[in-house]
Amino acid sequence: MASISITTTQNVTIDYQTAGVVSRAKAFGIDLLIIFFWYLINYFISASLFEDDNLYLIIVILPVISFYTLIFEFIWNGQTPGKRVMGIRVMKLNGREPEFIDYFTRWSLRFVEIYLSAGVIAGIMISTTNLQQRLGDIIAGTIMVNVWDKYSITTDVLSNINSQANYQPKYPEVASFTEAEMLVLKKLVDRHQRYRNAAHRELMLETANRISRKLGIEILENKPDLFIKTLIKDYVVLTR
């Protein structure tokens, strides 16, 4: 499963896991079941109330079935009932909210990618592209993400320390770093706390060693995560 960092218009950076073939197929299946039962209910209604079933089919049933995905994604912020159950949604790669034209672009290509090819084209595209996008996503500049597994940081949460009055920096050399670099370090620390495994511990240690070599400083703390936390505090104090 791939991941992507999206920076919103509020300067919030959010890490999302992209939605793969399985979760998207399950969402599609749920939506098909909803459409099927909705069709059955309306079929019996039309059969009992109207002599001309075909007219009811053309005016009521077919439009809803055809535009089901487009309507729900537009009014439900990138989700259909199936997508909502599976915890996935459509987003723009640039962090902005998708507009109607974006949803329309994705929807218009569904007929080729999903229906005419029995889902083969969509499945191949999702499985082979880096961000698990189907053709409609690539053209619309959108991506399907898992909203249940996200992580966000902002420039305001680097630290609560605002001045040198209550804190003495240990590593003044860190002032040469950029804010983007410090946000990466903050994200690394938080992910290390969230996922306490060998891979994150090794990454934390390697990062701490590289920084110490780059800045030509000695690590005073006995743990790499404490060292990086200190760097973040020092940076905030020295640059705010």
Are residues 167 and 132 part of one domain? no
> Do 21 and 146 contact (CB within 8 A), yes or no?
no
Closest to 34 measured CA to CA, from 84, 74, 105, 78: 84
Q: What is the pLDDT of residues 148-190, one digit of tens each?
A: 765 555 555 555 555 555 678 888 888 888 887 888 888 888 8
Are residues 113 and 168 part of one domain? no
Are residues 163 and 146 part of one domain? no
* Residue finishing a domain among 91, 119, 150: 150
The residue among 74 and 200 whose pLDDT is bigger is: 74
pTM beyond 0.85: no
Three-state SS across 27-49? HHHHHHHHHHHHHHHHHHHHHHH
Are residues 132 and 16 part of one domain? yes
- Distance, CA of 163 to CA of 178 (rounded, Å): 18
Are residues 119 and 9 part of one domain? yes
* Residue finishing a domain among 128, 150, 172: 150
The count of structural domains within the chain is 2
Q: Is the pLDDT of residue 48 over 80?
A: no
Are residues 106 and 176 part of one domain? no
Are residues 225 and 190 part of one domain? yes
Domain membership of residue 177 as a residue range: 158-239
> Do 149 and 15 contact (CB within 8 A), yes or no?
no
Are residues 76 and 45 part of one domain? yes
Q: What is the pLDDT of residues 124-156, one digit of tens each?
A: 999 999 889 999 999 999 999 988 765 555 555
